[in-house]
Amino acid sequence: MKKRVAFTLLTLVMMFSPVLSQNKATLHVDLAKEKINPEIYGHFAEHLGKLIYGGIMVEPDSKIDNIRGFRTDIIGALKEMKVPLLRWPGGCFADTYNWRDGIGPRHQRPSMINTHWGGVTEDNSFGTHEFLDFCDLIDAEPYINLNVGSGSVREAAQWVEYVTSSNVSPMTDLRKANGRQEPWNVKYWGVGNENWGCGGHMSPEYYADLYRNYATYLNGAKFKIAGGANIDDYNWTEVLMQKMNRYRWMMQGLSLHYYTIPRRWEDKGSSTDFDEAAWHQTLANTLRMEELVRRHSTIMDKYDPNKQIGLMVDEWGTWYDVLPGTNPGFLFQQNSLRDALVAGINLNIFNNHADRVKMANIAQMVNVLQAVILTKDEQMVLTPTYYVFKMYNVHHDATMIPLNLNVEDYEMNNRKIPASNASASIKDNVVSITLTNLNATKPLKMEIELTGFNPKKSSGKIVTAQKINDYNDFGQPEKVTLKDFKVDKPKGNKLVIELPAKSVVLVQLEQ
Ligand code: AHR
């Protein structure tokens, strides 16, 4: 009898329990120690399509409000979102670029053909001085990518000297003659880009030797980043780490590139016209970042157990078919709620690996791939991805809180993925938790438990929309933005939240 009462009680408790027991996040606040580098929230600006010309930069006679040629509205929006770091000039373009073409009086600068991106003429009116001026305007740390594929060691060394040296030399004289007396403080230098592909089709063995050759002469480049693997090319990481082992002081970062492509390279899929199956597939492909970061990190751990070399995911984001009617070489795509989820998932993964991931750059900042801003003439649209970056900026420079997450599956076409991912951090005694609900139709109730932190106050923000493919378009009211989200009061060290279907949520807790 006693047994039956106990069983009935347990059943009742389970039936009326507000929480599905499998959805639980345990935050180990007492174990927080790893700083989240703000550079994880970095961006990328290549000479590609309408990113620089027609994006951030206006024509000399333009009526669009600008500061020294850069759109005031874009500067304002980027500052509000916060751009800790900006990578330039590519990408594939970097390994075709001669920096000497982009300095001096603009009308005297030679032009070139942008062979990778649409075969258009690049007039070099945006060069080193303009890039560094733009970084100043948006308060971003600059990251310059040197040319290894078609350049020379001497050319690269002279660029570093031109930018960073305070000595008297032909390069610094040239800089002064071009109007800049003081050196710039540029910390991050990339040594080539995708040297397994557009950056020279090299083997990892050959590239590692070449890297050492370059690095030897880059005096003034404080933080050098080697061109890393494509997706799951673990051999590239292994060879680089092994061949650099005796020369570890020459390499402070190793990059990794992984793009989310819904289908196949030849037929990627539309950025706006997709169904729930494509949504699920895209998010499943995004979650793969976790495995890539983990496995590349494990290889790095073998050679660098103290994690002195950063894994720099310096290109990530969605890559769809270009919008119909646009130049296929310009990589212009729309940005829907699905992109907001992709951003939330990736940024949570990077936060959780803050011990190894020291930088990440979404591709690309304006008008290209998963852009945070789109422009059409004088109009500007902030994309759903913009709002996720704005929401997540609470994690910049915060201390990552390790968390355990148990969640139900989100299943489609016999493929199961976790219905949520999350990350958390603490700064100024405020705990910030960012969570995704990948499920397109079902809300997700989650219990959050904190160890070593008893919150009294709670607040929240959300990015969601009515439809999975809602997006913000020119001349229309914004459909996908950052809104307030009501969070119930915590009870002791616990609280329960319900993540609406297809959403990215920020919960903040204070003692
Ligand atoms: O971001 C577009 C291109 O993707 C970059 O130029 C290249 O590095 C990558 O393949």
- In this prediction, residue 22 carries a pLDDT of 84
CA angle 417, 302, 223 (to 5 degrees): 90
User: For residue 44, which atom of ligand 1 is closest to its CA?
Assistant: 1
Kindly state if the Cβ of 380 falls inside 6 Å of ligand 1: no
Strand 444-451 versus strand 24-28 pairing type: parallel
Name 27's bridge partners. 403, 450
The Å distance, Cα 272 to ligand 1 centre, comes to 22
80 is catalytic: no
- Asked whether the beta carbons of 328 and 223 are under 8 A apart, the reply is no
Catalytic residue among 194, 205, 408, 498: 194
Mutate to test the pocket of ligand 1, among 95, 230, 315, 366 (most ligand atoms within 8 A of CB): 315
- In this prediction, residue 38 carries a pLDDT of 98
Residue 275's SS3 state is coil
Max Cα distance, the chain (Å): 95
Identify the residue whose tokens are 């075709």.
96
Kindly state if the Cβ of 46 falls inside 6 Å of ligand 1: yes
Class of domain 37-396: alpha beta
Strand 85-88 versus strand 141-146 pairing type: parallel
Protein fold of 20-31+401-510 = Immunoglobulin-like (2.60.40)
Task: Name the residue at shortest CA distance from atom 2 of ligand 1.
Answer: 91
Kindly state if the Cβ of 256 falls inside 6 Å of ligand 1: no
- Average pLDDT of adjacent 10-residue blocks, the chain of 511 residues: 47 46 92 98 98 95 95 98 98 98 97 96 98 98 98 98 97 98 98 98 98 97 98 98 96 98 96 98 98 98 98 98 97 98 98 98 98 97 98 98 97 96 98 98 97 96 98 96 96 96 98 93
Entry pTM: 0.94
Nearest by Cα to 205 from 241, 231, 253, 232 = 241
First-to-last alpha carbon distance for the chain, in angstroms, is 45
498 is catalytic: no
Nearest by Cα to 400 from 358, 354, 459, 435 = 354
| 94: region left, alpha or beta (phi > 0 left; psi from -120 to 50 alpha) | alpha
Q: Which residues contact 252 (CB under 8 A, 6 or more apart)?
A: 222, 223, 224, 225, 308, 309, 310
Alpha helices per DSSP H over 203-275: 204-217, 234-243
User: Cβ of 246: how many Cβ atoms within 10 Å?
Assistant: 9
Task: Write the single-letter amino acid at 346.
Answer: N
- In this prediction, residue 4 carries a pLDDT of 52
Give the whole-angstrom CA distance, residue 317 versus residue 342.
Answer: 7
Task: Write the single-letter amino acid at 113.
Answer: I
Domains of the chain, by residue range, sit at 20-31+401-510, 37-396
